Amino acid sequence: MKKSAHRYVHGYSEREVDRLVDQATTLSDLLHHDTKYPAGSSVLEAGCGVGAQTVTLLKNSPEARFTCIDISDESLRAAKARVEATGHSNVVFRQSDIFNSGFPDDHFDHIFVCFVLEHLKNPVEALLHLKSKLK
């Protein structure tokens, strides 16, 4: 992966991608044991990174509609490739900042955030912004 203009404390190397996937796989049962979204519901995954959590979300909720955003183009490319390998097509990826997502208020049925807030200077502000996007 090439160097990103965005600062991520762990960087964007292939080793980091592998670490994130390993982390997601290891914690999958703990994090997602009851995460299932209804068919047809709209879900925003804010800070999807390399798609490590995305594939589990899609597996558990194959009929929900996902929009996955991340600030990093490099991470989004990795996420798209990871999801394409699973055969799921109910997801749209978009390069976006959590604070300036461009989505209208009252737009999503659900929002999923995992391993993101600890990287933000203003996590409470991020949650308030995301909350406004919920129906």
User: Using one digit for the tens of pLDDT, what is the confidence trace for 99-111?
Assistant: 999 999 999 999 9
Q: Which residues of the chain have pLDDT under 70?
A: 1-13, 16-30, 32
Does 9 reside within a domain?
A: no
Does 120 reside within a domain?
A: yes
Domain count, the chain: 1
Does 126 reside within a domain?
A: yes
Q: What is the pLDDT of residue 15?
A: 73
Strand partners, 93: 68
Q: Which CATH number goes with the domain that contains 28?
A: 3.40.50.150
What does the block give as tokens for 44?
Answer: 């925003």
| Strand ranges (E), the chain | 42-46, 65-70, 91-95, 110-112
Does 55 reside within a domain?
A: yes
CB atoms within 10 A of CB 134: 13
Does 118 reside within a domain?
A: yes
Q: What is the pLDDT of residue 14?
A: 73
Domain of residue 38: give its range.
14-132
For tokens 């659900």, the residue is 110
Does 4 reside within a domain?
A: no
pTM of the model: 0.81
